[in-house]
Amino acid sequence: MCMKKLPVGRILIACVAYLLLFILGSSSGAIHPACYAYIGALLPLLFSFVYLYTAANVPCFGAAVILNGFVLIVGSIAGEGNMALIVGLIGLAAIAEFVRKLNGYDTLQSVRRSFIPFAFSFFTYTAHWWTDTEGSLAAAVEEMPTGYADEMVAVIENIPALIVALILTVPAAIIGMRIAERVMKKQASILTKRKRDLK
């Protein structure tokens, strides 16, 4: 029943904004391969605004699925739908939805907690560097400037840096959501009001 009452226009705006953040993240690779590989640890600071906005407009199952589903569909159409992206986006959306269900779709706490797994979503886009290293390097040789593939190898082999980036994603998600709540007071208050109404 909830899905039938969703504000489609607002959700579409959120989906487009989320997609643009993915494009921003992927474009960072033009600066240096390390930017592309690790920017996923910083993007939750921006993802949080989109997720809070979407969750406030989707007081039931679907916020994470809609956002990751939109990116997955557009990515697949654009030829970016590799297995790591598909499995990763679906898996993280499922975990986020499960966490939100456990904590109540109508609470701000559920948004905070479910955003933590969701915050790792961009890493599913960059995961092909590690799941299909040979193919990724071959594509870099064809598409990127001379020497870029060699720089990629150094980044791909630096597993400790990747682990640090993944760990830092958690505090970035927590901080990002707290900032989003302060900036987007209307959306945060909607969830807080729903919690009061449920009592």
> What pLDDT score does 196 carry?
47
22 C-beta neighbours (distance < 10 Å), count: 19
Residue 198, pLDDT > 70, answer no
- Domain assignment present for 159: yes
> What pLDDT score does 194 carry?
59
Tally of domains within the chain = 1
157: Cα within 13 Å, side-chain hemisphere:
8
- Which positions ≥6 away from 173 have C-beta within 8 Å? 44, 47, 48, 115, 116, 118, 119
Task: State both tokens at 35.
Answer: 């930017």
96-117 average pLDDT score: 94
- Domain assignment present for 3: no
State the residue range of the domain holding 192: 9-198
- Domain assignment present for 67: yes
- Domain assignment present for 1: no
> What pLDDT score does 1 carry?
52
- Domain assignment present for 186: yes
35-64 average pLDDT score: 96
Residue 39, pLDDT > 60, answer yes
Q: For the whole model, what pTM was predicted?
A: 0.93
- Domain assignment present for 99: yes
Per-residue pLDDT reduced to its tens digit, 115-146 = 999 999 999 999 999 999 999 999 999 999 99
97-122 average pLDDT score: 95
Per-residue pLDDT reduced to its tens digit, 143-158 = 999 999 999 999 999 9
What's 79's DSSP letter? T
> What pLDDT score does 157 carry?
97
- SS in 3 state form for the chain? CHHHHCCHHHHHHHHHHHHHHHHHHHHHHHCCHHHHHHHHHCCHHHHHHHHHHHHHHCCCCCHHHHHHHHHHHHHHHCCCCCHHHHHHHHHHHHHHHHHHHHHCCCCHHHHHHHHHHHCCHHHHHHCHHHHCHHHHHHHHHHHCCCCHHHHHHHHHHCHHHHHHHHHHHHHHHHHHHHHHHHHCHHHHHHHHHHHHHHC
Per-residue pLDDT reduced to its tens digit, 79-94 = 988 999 999 999 999 9
- Domain assignment present for 43: yes
- Domain assignment present for 190: yes
Arithmetic mean of pLDDT over the chain: 93
- Taking the C-alpha atoms of residue 80 and residue 131, their distance in angstroms, rounded to an integer, is 14
> What pLDDT score does 83 carry?
94
